[in-house]
Amino acid sequence: MLSLPLLKQSIRSNAVMWGSMTGVMTLLCVQFSMLDMTRSLLFTIFYGMMTTILPGIYVLVTANKLLASQVDRGSMAYVLATPTKRSTVTFTQAFYLVNSLIAMFGVQTLAHLATNAAKPIALGEMGYTMLAGDLTSKMIAQVNLSALMVCIALSAVCFMFSGIFSSSKYSIGLSGTFIGVSILANMLAMFGNLGVDGLKNFKYLTICSFYDYQSVLFSGNEWITKLIFPAAIAVAAFTVGELCFSKKDLPL
């Protein structure tokens, strides 16, 4: 099912993109949680936007590179000229995509845990005046898990387009539209939450709405139920991508 040599190649060829996105996300997280000027915006700006925008860009580029672009360029021919099944190729690439996201959020979570231990922040300081106490390590882990699940769903949809189309321009075009709409709608919905009522309904336009850091901060359980939907979307989209890629004619 999993091809180790192919996995290695995927890690190598996407290392720069992964490294820079992880680096930027981690640095921003450290900055937002450490600097007095920006601490109060840790959740609105960093967890509200950056944890979907940065991984969003990463999955948009990477998902396309994992299948569609290799078919488009022709390098997939070398992979399939070996006794490797197409299903093994898609499984390996999807495995890479999901695990690279897990690693990305892992690094950033660890960084945040470290900065939070060094310089704890009260929930009240970030605008949640009705809540007592500091931001706990448990909350940080839960918020990141919630964001990770949504990012996996985003990656799965991009992967699906990458599997369906044999040409980069269609794969990246549709994935880009999807990611763009998801992130923009999420931002607009966030303004809705902050008081612009007319923008509230945008939350129905994006799967980023299943990422619910407020529920975590309020120690609710909603965020756990909301994990199920992106998980289901991810499974469905990865499956469709897999099937399309395995069945279609490849112009190699």
Partner 1 sequence: MIKVNELTHDYGHGRGVFDVSFEVGKGETLGFLGPNGAGKSTTMRHLMGFSKPQKGEVSIGGLDCTAKPSEIMKNVGYLPGEVALPEGLSGRQFIKMMQDMRGVRNDERVRELLERFKLDPSGSVKRMSIGEKRKLAVVTAFMSDPEILLLDEPTSGLDPVMQEEFISFIREEKVKGRTILLSSHIFSEVEALCDRIAIIKDGRLVSTVDAAEIRHGLHNIMTIEFENAGDFTEFGRQELDFALRDRSSLKCSVVVDDEDINRFIRAIRRFRIKSFAEHSVTLEEYFMHFYKNDKHFGGVSYA
Positions that interact with partner 1 (CB under 8 A): 3-6, 8-9, 12-15, 65, 70, 73-75, 77-85, 88, 249-252
Give dist(CA 1, CA 3) in Å, integer: 7
CB of 252 to partner 1, least distance (A): 5
CB of 16 to partner 1, least distance (A): 8
CB of 1 to partner 1, least distance (A): 13
CB atoms within 10 A of CB 184: 15
CB closer to partner 1, 39 vs 248: 248
Contacts of 202 (CB under 8 A, 6+ apart): 185, 186, 188, 189, 192
Q: How far apart are the first and last CA of the chain?
A: 23
Give dist(CA 221, CA 128) in Å, integer: 18
CB closer to partner 1, 4 vs 130: 4
CB of 71 to partner 1, least distance (A): 9
3-state percent helix, strand, coil for the chain, nearest multiple of 5: 80, 0, 15
Q: Look up residue 233 and give its amino acid.
A: I
Give dist(CA 173, CA 178) in Å, integer: 9
CB of 21 to partner 1, least distance (A): 16
CB closer to partner 1, 81 vs 117: 81
Asked if residue 182 lies in contact with residue 208, where contact means CB atoms within 8 angstroms, the answer is: yes
CB of 245 to partner 1, least distance (A): 12
Q: Which of 196, 18, 6, 34 is nearest to 106 (CA)?
A: 18
Q: Which of 142, 113, 88, 123 is nearest to 29 (CA)?
A: 113
CB closer to partner 1, 158 vs 227: 158
CB closer to partner 1, 81 vs 118: 81
CB closer to partner 1, 73 vs 138: 73
